[in-house]
């Protein structure tokens, strides 16, 4: 059924009514979930299988029946494996109803529906007894309810409850246990993701001071999950070994702590700045610790081939479990061999860390909460964008070039700091912003820097527009996710067009949308159909995902491409040009391009990348590749923005005459932007 729902239009900033499928939200969740990638994770699947087999054989060898409980069965994968391994009874529960329904179909299709009882409930709602969901307690638990932070999906309470109510005392649990590792590092690249720096000029002179409360803020409590193995090796320096900080006994032999704080002394391995903690975990799948699944980044991974040219590509790839970064509340300068203490804290769902040396001690080790506003309203990517000195320098150069002491400047983006950095040298600055939390941040900057001529306005009135001599828009709105959502600048300029003076100066000049066929090294695995997983037919799951993708319209999605290596598989092409100084109400563009130029070798193509390049004075600011891509080569992507990608349902071998096409329709009156990109079939 179709229903009216409210949806925010990121280009206009207003809330609009939209007709959507009544189950739009859950379809979106399915379409966007990491389910497919998790099922493509062969190492995970096979290690679960081997450990399950050991558990079932062990119960049998002791003359017992193997009664399996599978918590969070999803597609039913682990239950089907249990059936293949000869389990005597299997109960599978799944809290997410559409998945539970899908699971029933998959069991049917694989001829095991009579062997597995599926209960569409959260494990904590299961009942045991003659009339209960389970006739008896189980003596094997198999479950995979872990996320990048290990415990973020509620694993602690799931296991605790299961041991109390659903399992026999001497049961076997797959996995048996887990270890969380922390490594203290210096990484100026990632530090840019955490806190706003002062705005500086080309000679490192401070142009705008960041308020002290933002510098002192404990930061965001939300986990920063990241593909650490893609971080350039030269961008960070370890100052500690990996430290095992928390051990989790899933087997039920020792109780699970919902809250704990552990202080561990260690010696610094490298002189440097202790800025953050890299975190990952290992699962011990079996009771003897023979089958270990590690989420370590390549430099600490047990399976890395260090003699390879790209050692990061020699370990299993996965996106459903990455690594996490926790920023230390205070950066500490540390000397090699110094003794310091890592304080690791955990509550029911999350982790956080402190580092103490003889000069730095904390009165408490509470979970960090943002008190400055920045961490609540700006994404980490946006913070890193604002800290990107290279891009800032180009924007500032043009801005300084355009303004004088007579300038009245209108800034269209309230999450920009550059206009504040030049405010003192011009007459007046108006900043359009209406979100109170963003107004708070701007106000703090204004106070800290004694700016008396900056006014924050909810919208530009006719009188203000008439007064304005210069318009500046840092072309990255904190509300934008997909690249074209930054066309808010064009939407606003178009709506002001009649009211602005004819000779008003505008930065940027315009933008170009670019597209290119690519071969992802791994990213396609998050979306391509499974067909089969470990020999188990998964067609019902594929069609659920496909239907959800159609309903929730997730054709192109935003991804930080620097975390996902790919090769250019065709010349990048300019798809659309928007001239901000001569805006047209609508723009349509389409085109057909050949994949291979003067090259008849065949390639695999499994997606397209789309990005935007902003023109500022004579400079091009790419929110895509940092150097022009060469066909056949890896692409180096801007780390401070996300790009749009289309992941193809199946990869294609193409050669010679293959062609791709695109269509764009852009309406600045309505704030609409549509793009389609695909093969010429």
Footprint on residues 623-642 left by ligand SAH (CB under 6 A): none
* One of 34, 277, 372, 421 touching Zn ion (CB under 5 A): 372
Pick 73 or 438: Cβ nearer ligand SAH: 73
Phi, psi values for residue 476, rounded to 5°: -150, 100
| CB burial of residue 486 (10 Å; 0-12, 13-18, 19+) | buried
Structure token pair of residue 172: 């076997």
Residue 94 binds which of ligand SAH, Zn ion, none (CB < 5-8 A, kind-dependent): ligand SAH
Pick 94 or 542: Cβ nearer ligand SAH: 94
Catalytic choice (94, 144, 238, 485):
144
Query: Does 563 qualify as catalytic in the annotation?
Result: no
Footprint on residues 211-270 left by Zn ion (CB under 5 A): 217
Pick 368 or 572: Cβ nearer Zn ion: 368
Beta bridge partners of 200: 206
Among 111-119, 369-377, 564-572, 642-650, the segment contacting Zn ion (CB under 5 A): 369-377
Phi, psi values for residue 253, rounded to 5°: -75, -30
C-alpha 484: how far from chain center: 19
Contact 664, 515 (CB under 8 A): no
Query: Can you tell me the distance from the alpha carbon of 106 to that of 90, in angstroms, rounded to the nearest whole number?
Result: 15
- What is the SS3 assignment for 71? strand
Residue 96 binds which of ligand SAH, Zn ion, none (CB < 5-8 A, kind-dependent): ligand SAH
For residue 398, what is the enclosing H or E element?
helix 389-402
Cα–Cα distances in angstroms (integers) from residue 374 to residues 371, 414, 511, in the given order: 8, 12, 28
- Where do the DSSP E strands lie in 243-338? 243-249, 260-267, 272-284, 292-294, 323-334
> In 3D, which of 414, 501, 436 has the Cα closest to residue 466?
501
- What is the SS3 assignment for 616? strand
Residue 243 binds which of ligand SAH, Zn ion, none (CB < 5-8 A, kind-dependent): none
- What is the SS3 assignment for 607? strand
Residue 217 binds which of ligand SAH, Zn ion, none (CB < 5-8 A, kind-dependent): Zn ion
Cβ neighbours around 345 below 10 Å, total? 21
Pick 93 or 648: Cβ nearer ligand SAH: 93
Q: Supply the minimum distance, in Å, between the C-beta of residue 600 and ligand SAH.
A: 42
Name the DSSP letter for residue 318. Answer: -
Pick 83 or 184: Cβ nearer ligand SAH: 83
Query: Does 339 qualify as catalytic in the annotation?
Result: no
Q: Supply the minimum distance, in Å, between the C-beta of residue 536 and ligand SAH.
A: 10
Pick 154 or 211: Cβ nearer Zn ion: 211
**96 makes contact with ligand SAH (CB under 6 A):** yes
* One of 370, 456, 481, 539 touching Zn ion (CB under 5 A): 370
> In 3D, which of 469, 466, 456, 460 has the Cα closest to residue 408?
469
Cis-peptide, bond into residue 175, ω within 30° of zero: yes
**94 makes contact with ligand SAH (CB under 6 A):** yes
- Where do the DSSP E strands lie in 539-602? 557-559, 566-568, 573-579, 586-594
**375 makes contact with Zn ion (CB under 5 A):** yes
| CB burial of residue 600 (10 Å; 0-12, 13-18, 19+) | exposed
Contact 451, 426 (CB under 8 A): no
Q: Supply the minimum distance, in Å, between the C-beta of residue 3 and ligand SAH.
A: 24
Catalytic choice (29, 101, 153, 557):
153
Q: Supply the minimum distance, in Å, between the C-beta of residue 39 and ligand SAH.
A: 6
> In 3D, which of 416, 423, 379 has the Cα closest to residue 395?
416
Residue 370 binds which of Zn ion, ligand SAH, none (CB < 5-8 A, kind-dependent): Zn ion
Pick 145 or 645: Cβ nearer ligand SAH: 145
Annotate 266-282 with three-state secondary structure. EECCCCEEEEEEEEEEE
Q: Supply the minimum distance, in Å, between the C-beta of residue 182 and ligand SAH.
A: 25
Contact 353, 181 (CB under 8 A): no
Q: Decide the pairing of beta strands 408-411 and 428-432.
A: parallel
Beta bridge partners of 590: 663
Pick 192 or 375: Cβ nearer Zn ion: 375
Please work out the total of residues on this chain that contact ligand SAH, with binding judged by CB under 6 A: 22
Among 119-127, 265-273, 274-282, 371-379, the segment contacting Zn ion (CB under 5 A): 371-379
**40 makes contact with Zn ion (CB under 5 A):** no
Residue 638 binds which of ligand SAH, Zn ion, none (CB < 5-8 A, kind-dependent): none
Query: Can you tell me the distance from the alpha carbon of 585 to that of 579, in angstroms, rounded to the nearest whole number?
Result: 11
**43 makes contact with ligand SAH (CB under 6 A):** no
Among 94-102, 132-140, 254-262, 660-668, the segment contacting ligand SAH (CB under 6 A): 94-102
Residue span 161-200 as binding mask against ligand SAH, x where in contact by CB under 6 A, dash where not: ----------------------------------------
Cβ neighbours around 175 below 10 Å, total? 25
Q: Supply the minimum distance, in Å, between the C-beta of residue 28 and ligand SAH.
A: 15
Q: Is the dihedral of CA 575, 578, 579, 585 positive or negative?
A: positive
Structure token pair of residue 529: 């159909």
**95 makes contact with ligand SAH (CB under 6 A):** yes
* One of 99, 492, 561, 666 touching ligand SAH (CB under 6 A): 99
Q: Supply the minimum distance, in Å, between the C-beta of residue 210 and Zn ion.
A: 11
Contact 635, 566 (CB under 8 A): yes
Pick 99 or 403: Cβ nearer ligand SAH: 99
Query: Can you tell me the distance from the alpha carbon of 431 to that of 115, in angstroms, rounded to the nearest whole number?
Result: 65
Residue span 117-156 as binding mask against ligand SAH, x where in contact by CB under 6 A, dash where not: -----xxx-------------------xx-------xx--
Pick 76 or 373: Cβ nearer ligand SAH: 76
Contact 129, 157 (CB under 8 A): no
Residue span 44-83 as binding mask against ligand SAH, x where in contact by CB under 6 A, dash where not: ---------------------------xxxxx-xx-----
Query: Can you tell me the distance from the alpha carbon of 118 to that of 141, in angstroms, rounded to the nearest whole number?
Result: 15
Residue 480 binds which of ligand SAH, Zn ion, none (CB < 5-8 A, kind-dependent): none
Contact 647, 527 (CB under 8 A): yes
Among 88-96, 97-105, 177-185, 374-382, the segment contacting Zn ion (CB under 5 A): 374-382
**93 makes contact with ligand SAH (CB under 6 A):** yes
Pick 446 or 538: Cβ nearer ligand SAH: 538
Query: Can you tell me the distance from the alpha carbon of 613 to that of 619, in angstroms, rounded to the nearest whole number?
Result: 10
Q: Which residue is nearest to ligand SAH (CB)?
A: 72
Provide the binding-site residues for ligand SAH, judged by CB under 6 A.
Answer: 38-39, 71-75, 77-78, 93-96, 99, 122-124, 144-145, 153-154, 158
Active site residues per annotation: 144, 153
Q: Which residues are near Zn ion by CB under 5 A?
A: 217, 370, 372, 374-375
């Amino acid at each position: 059924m179709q229903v009216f729902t409210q949806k925010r239009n990121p280009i206009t900033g207003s809330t609009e009514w939209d007709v959507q499928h009544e189950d739009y939200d859950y379809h979106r969740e399915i379409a966007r979930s990491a389910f497919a990638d998790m099922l493509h994770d062969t190492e995970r699947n096979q290690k679960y299988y081997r450990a399950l087999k050991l558990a079932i054989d062990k119960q049998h060898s002791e003359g017992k029946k193997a009664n399996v409980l599978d918590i969070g069965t999803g597609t039913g994968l682990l239950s089907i494996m249990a059936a293949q391994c000869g389990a005597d009874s299997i109960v599978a529960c799944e809290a997410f109803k559409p998945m539970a329904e899908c699971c029933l179909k998959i069991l049917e299709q694989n001829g095991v529906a009579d062997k597995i009882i599926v209960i569409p409930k959260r494990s904590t709602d299961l009942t045991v007894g003659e009339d209960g969901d389970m006739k008896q307690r189980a003596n094997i638990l198999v479950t995979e309810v872990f996320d990048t932070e290990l415990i973020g999906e509620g694993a602690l309470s799931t296991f605790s409850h299961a041991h109390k109510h659903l399992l026999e005392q001497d049961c076997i649990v797959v996995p048996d246990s887990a270890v969380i590792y922390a490594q203290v590092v210096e990484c100026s690249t990632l530090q840019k993701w955490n806190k706003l720096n002062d705005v500086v000029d080309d000679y490192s002179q401070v142009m705008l001071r960041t308020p002290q409360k933002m510098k002192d803020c404990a930061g965001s409590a939300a986990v920063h999950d990241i593909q650490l193995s893609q971080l350039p090796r030269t961008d960070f320096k370890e100052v500690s070994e990996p430290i095992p900080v928390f051990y989790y006994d899933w087997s039920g032999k020792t109780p699970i702590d919902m809250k704990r704080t552990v202080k561990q002394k260690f010696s610094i391995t490298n002189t440097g700045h202790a800025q953050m903690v890299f975190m990952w975990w290992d699962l011990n799948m079996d009771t003897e610790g023979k089958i270990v699944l590690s989420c370590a980044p390549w430099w600490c991974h047990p399976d890395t081939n260090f003699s390879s040219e790209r050692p990061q590509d020699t370990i299993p790839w996965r996106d459903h479990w990455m690594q996490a970064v926790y920023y230390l509340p205070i950066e500490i300068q540390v000397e090699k061999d110094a003794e310091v203490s890592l304080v690791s804290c955990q509550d029911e769902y999350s982790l956080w860390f402190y580092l103490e040396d003889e000069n730095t001690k904390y009165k408490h080790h509470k979970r960090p909460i943002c008190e400055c506003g920045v961490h609540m309203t700006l994404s980490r990517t946006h913070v890193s964008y604002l800290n990107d000195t290279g891009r800032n320098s180009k924007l500032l150069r043009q801005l300084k070039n355009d303004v004088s002491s007579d300038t009245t400047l209108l800034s269209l983006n309230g999450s920009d700091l550059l206009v504040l950095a030049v405010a003192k040298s011009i007459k007046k600055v108006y900043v359009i912003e209406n979100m109170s939390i963003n107004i708070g941040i701007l106000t703090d900057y204004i106070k800290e820097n004694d700016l008396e001529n900056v006014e924050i306005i909810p919208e530009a009135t006719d009188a203000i527009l008439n007064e304005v001599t210069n318009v500046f828009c840092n072309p990255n709105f904190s509300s934008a996710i997909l690249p074209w959502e930054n066309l808010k600048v064009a939407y606003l300029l178009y709506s002001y067009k009649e009211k602005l003076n004819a000779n008003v100066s505008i930065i940027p000049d315009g933008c170009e949308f670019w597209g290119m066929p690519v071969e992802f090294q791994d990213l396609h695995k998050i979306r391509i159909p499974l067909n089969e997983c470990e020999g188990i037919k998964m067609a019902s799951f594929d069609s659920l995902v496909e239907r959800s993708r159609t309903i929730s319209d997730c054709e192109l999605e935003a991804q930080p491409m620097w975390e996902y290596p790919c090769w250019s598989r065709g010349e990048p092409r300019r798809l659309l040009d928007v001239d901000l100084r001569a805006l047209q109400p609508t723009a349509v563009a389409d085109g057909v391009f050949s994949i291979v130029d003067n090259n008849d070798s065949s390639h695999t193509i499994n997606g397209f990348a789309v990005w935007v390049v902003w023109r500022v004075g004579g400079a091009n600011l790419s929110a895509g590749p940092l150097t022009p891509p060469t066909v056949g080569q890896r692409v180096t992507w801007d780390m401070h923005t996300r790009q749009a990608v289309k992941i193809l349902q199946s990869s294609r071998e193409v050669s010679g005459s293959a062609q791709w096409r695109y269509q764009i329709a852009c309406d600045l009156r309505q704030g609409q932007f549509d793009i389609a990109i695909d093969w010429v079939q």
